[in-house]
């Protein structure tokens, strides 16, 4: 074997003497037989390990810092509950995510509300629950939130989302720091927002916030963002540095991925050097907390050959939209017959194929350049690093019920979100 074939799998993954994949000590073939496919399988110890790594890294670099989970990455009660137990806060971007966070046990003072188009109902819920912060995205937010808080004789803490005109090296669909963005206020408008907020007795300005994008693999971009907001920092007590650290979806990325410690140190160093040690530091990782912890198991239904070899599975764009939205790349293996792509003999013997879903779109391609060992109907495939945004974006296209979430650890598995039932597809019908 010329490389670590499990480099992008959950940290406690292994292969047994038969070559079968073990996830949290559980045989992947047995998981598929017990829980069906497709299924999101999540290593709970990986979630907890990443939470502790973030908490410890930021506390070491900036004592008293605040780390929150960006819940949009995996808005599942069981996942949220893990991070609540590990002492993280939570970032929510809608009334629904707020309800999930409260349901999972987060105290309101550990929740902050994001979003660029919150309704009055959502803003009112934030005030009524006494959330830690509401992140101001635009001037309309200021006027509406001030009125809502005043009507309740409350004072709501807020921060301002600043768009620093800094772009990271990522896909356009997940880049948010450039000047022409639907998110936040430019530096000049942020100055005006500071003045308007401080004039409102029902609002208290706590901090500045930026988030320049997701799936970032280089750290220098964060320093440029801190430099852009530094002139505004005299007005606040906290600087929230957003999230953004990427994950390795394929082995090549794993070789160059910054560690959580390097990420925290670089961000904190930029704040201390460009702003000073007066401000508290907050951070909001999402993808990098949950991405590697999850894999998706699929059952092969058909293998067809024309110009290409097409391996059709029982899931696809209903359970993982990222390849179709962003051209995201994934690895894939047969769970009991791994192929080493750096072993010439194995590559020569492998089937070069496209792993595709069952949905009625030509774009329903999960992995366009797969190398599989003699794939056939009945095989179970595994796609790693699906812990972020797979479940979050899941849908019922073609009437396919949504997949379950299965936690694994210590050789045991448990369903934390059951598979959707067919009859639930019409459960909301009004007549």
Distance of CA 413 to the CA centre of its chain: 22
- Taking only the tens of pLDDT, the chain with its 431 residues reads 345 899 999 998 999 999 999 999 999 999 999 999 999 999 999 999 999 999 999 999 999 999 999 999 999 999 999 999 999 999 999 999 999 999 999 999 999 999 999 999 999 999 999 999 999 999 999 999 999 999 999 999 999 999 887 644 444 444 454 556 677 898 999 999 999 999 999 999 999 998 887 577 778 888 888 999 999 999 999 999 998 888 999 988 877 788 999 999 999 999 999 999 999 999 999 999 999 999 999 999 999 999 999 999 999 999 999 999 988 999 999 999 999 998 999 999 999 999 999 999 999 999 999 999 999 999 999 999 999 999 999 999 999 999 999 999 999 999 999 999 999 999 999 99
Q: Residue 348: CB partners within 8 Å, gap ≥ 6?
A: none
361 is in an annotated binding site: yes
285 is in an annotated binding site: yes
244 is in an annotated binding site: yes
173 is in an annotated binding site: no
List the catalytic residue out of 26, 76, 353, 360: 360
284 is in an annotated binding site: yes
What is the spatial distance between Cα 27 and Cα 270, in angstroms, rounded to a whole number?
45
Residue among 93, 89, 83, 81 nearest 109 (CA): 89
Q: Is 360 a catalytic residue?
A: yes
Q: How far is CA 121 from CA 117, 134, 136, 157, 271, in A?
A: 11, 13, 15, 17, 35
Question: What single DSSP character describes residue 123?
Answer: H
- Per the structure block, which two tokens stand in for 338? 């791994």
- Per the structure block, which two tokens stand in for 425? 């597809």
User: Using an 8 Å Cβ cutoff, are 38 and 319 in contact?
Assistant: yes
63 is in an annotated binding site: no
pTM over 0.85: yes
Q: Residue 207: CB partners within 8 Å, gap ≥ 6?
A: 133, 159, 160, 236, 237, 238, 239, 240, 279, 280, 282
Pairing label, strands 351-356, 309-313: parallel
Query: What is the arrangement of strands in the sheet containing 26-27, beginning at the earlier edge strand?
Result: 14-15, 21-23, 26-27
User: Using an 8 Å Cβ cutoff, are 209 and 233 in contact?
Assistant: no
**Which domains are seen in the chain, by residue range?**
14-36+293-426 (2.40.37.10), 45-290 (3.20.20.10)
Pairing label, strands 39-43, 26-27: unpaired
CA geometry: angle at 45 spanning 214 and 264, to 5°?
Answer: 40
């Amino acid at each position: 074997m010329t490389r670590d074939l499990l480099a992008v799998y959950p940290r406690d993954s292994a292969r047994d003497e038969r070559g079968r994949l073990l996830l949290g000590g559980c045989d992947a073939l047995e998981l598929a037989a017990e829980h069906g496919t497709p299924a999101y399988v999540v290593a709970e110890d990986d979630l907890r390990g990443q939470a502790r790594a973030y908490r410890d890294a930021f506390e070491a670099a900036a004592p008293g810092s605040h780390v929150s989970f960006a819940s949009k990455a995996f808005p599942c009660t069981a996942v949220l509950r893990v991070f609540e137990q590990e002492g993280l806060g939570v970032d929510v971007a809608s009334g629904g995510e707020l309800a999930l966070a409260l349901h999972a046990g987060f105290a309101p003072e550990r929740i902050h509300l994001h979003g660029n188009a919150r309704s009055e109902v959502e803003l009112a819920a934030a005030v009524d629950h006494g959330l830690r912060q509401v992140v101001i995205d635009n001037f309309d937010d200021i006027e509406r939130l001030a009125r809502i808080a005043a009507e309740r004789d409350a004072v709501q803490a807020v921060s301002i989302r600043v768009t620093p005109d800094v772009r990271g090296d990522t896909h356009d669909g997940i880049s948010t720091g450039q000047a022409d963005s639907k998110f936040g206020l430019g530096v000049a408008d942020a100055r005006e927002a500071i003045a308007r907020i401080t004039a409102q007795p029902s609002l208290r300005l706590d901090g500045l916030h930026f988030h320049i994008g997701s799936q970032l693999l280089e750290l220098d971009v964060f320093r440029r963002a801190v430099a852009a907001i530094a002139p505004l920092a005299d007005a606040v007590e906290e600087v929230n540095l957003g999230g953004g650290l990427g994950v390795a979806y394929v082995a090549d990325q794993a070789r160059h991925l910054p560690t959580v410690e390097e990420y925290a140190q670089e961000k904190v160093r930029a704040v201390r050097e460009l702003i000073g040690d007066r401000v508290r530091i907050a951070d909001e990782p999402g993808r990098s907390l949950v991405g590697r912890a999850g894999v998706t198991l699929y059952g092969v239904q058909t293998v067809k050959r024309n110009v290409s070899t097409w391996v059709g599975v029982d899931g696809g764009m209903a359970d993982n939209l990222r390849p179709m939205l962003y051209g995201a790349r994934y690895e894939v293996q047969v769970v009991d017959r791994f192929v080493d792509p750096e072993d010439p003999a194995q590559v020569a013997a492998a089937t070069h194929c496209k792993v595709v879903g069952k949905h009625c779109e030509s774009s329903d391609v999960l992995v366009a350049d797969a190398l599989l060992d003699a794939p056939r109907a009945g095989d179970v495939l595994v796609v790693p690093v699906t812990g972020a945004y797979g479940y979050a974006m899941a849908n019922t296209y073609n009437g396919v019920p949504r997949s379950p979430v299965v936690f694994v650890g210590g050789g045991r598995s448990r369903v934390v979100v059951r598979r959707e039932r067919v009859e639930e597809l019409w459960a909301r019908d009004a007549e």
